[in-house]
Amino acid sequence: MISTNDFYTGAVVIWENDPWQVLEFMHVKPGKGSPFVRAKLKNLRTGNIRETTFRAGEKLPRADVRTREMQFLYASGDDYVFMDTETFEQVTIPRSRLEHEVNFLKENLTVHVMFYGDEVLGIDLPQTVTLQVVETEPGIRGDTVSGATKPAKLETGYVVQVPLFVNQGDWIVVDTRSGEYVSRA
């Protein structure tokens, strides 16, 4: 059990029969009345985000969410196959569980897969990944406008805005949280 007074960002609790992750929280002590905790929670099964209020000191059961290091093997239709790096057990995850993460998945990428019991909740990508540019327009000589960008299609099919000096065949580092270009690799 975890008290709402002990909430922290990233805590996973059972609420309304689902595992919810605490995204944000704020303890409020009004001048009159009892204190309460306002929290922003994400349902790990559906991805829905809700803001709710709990009484201060209210207890919620902790969710037993485990993560296992796994390697992405291949995509087969709308299914993505991952292999545990220790036991070599393979797990198939449907595309519906992976939202924007599919934009950064390439073969042999190591990720952390979240499990609630035997149910797969989703994956945690590394903060950055290195991907190859497969298609982009050549930079125009003399175009030195500061901060100018152009679209570039990456090996996974994702399109990202890159500086003009990036060419087809270059390897770049992309932030998986924002989906933005970070640097050349």
Same domain flag for 132 and 167: yes
Choose the final residue of a domain: 77, 94, 124: 124
Same domain flag for 133 and 102: no
Same domain flag for 136 and 116: no
Same domain flag for 49 and 69: no
User: What's the predicted TM-score (pTM) here?
Assistant: 0.75
Same domain flag for 10 and 56: yes
156: DSSP letter: T
pLDDT at 91 over 70: yes
Choose the final residue of a domain: 43, 60, 77: 60
What residue numbers bound the domain in which 98 lies? 65-124
Same domain flag for 105 and 139: no
The pLDDT of 6-35, averaged and rounded, is 91
Instruction: List helix spans (H) across the chain.
Output: none
* CATH code: domain of residue 176: 2.40.50.140
Q: With CA atoms as reference, report the closest residue to 93 among 68, 65, 113, 116.
A: 113
Note the pLDDT tens digit of each residue in 123-151.
889 999 999 999 998 866 655 666 788 89
Same domain flag for 143 and 111: no
* CATH code: domain of residue 8: 2.30.30.30
- For residues 59 and 73, the answer to whether their CB atoms sit within 8 Å is no
Count other C-beta atoms under 10 Å from residue 162's C-beta: 22
The predicted pLDDT at position 112 comes to 92
Give the number of domains in the chain: 3
Which residues lie across from 115 on neighbouring strands?
66, 120
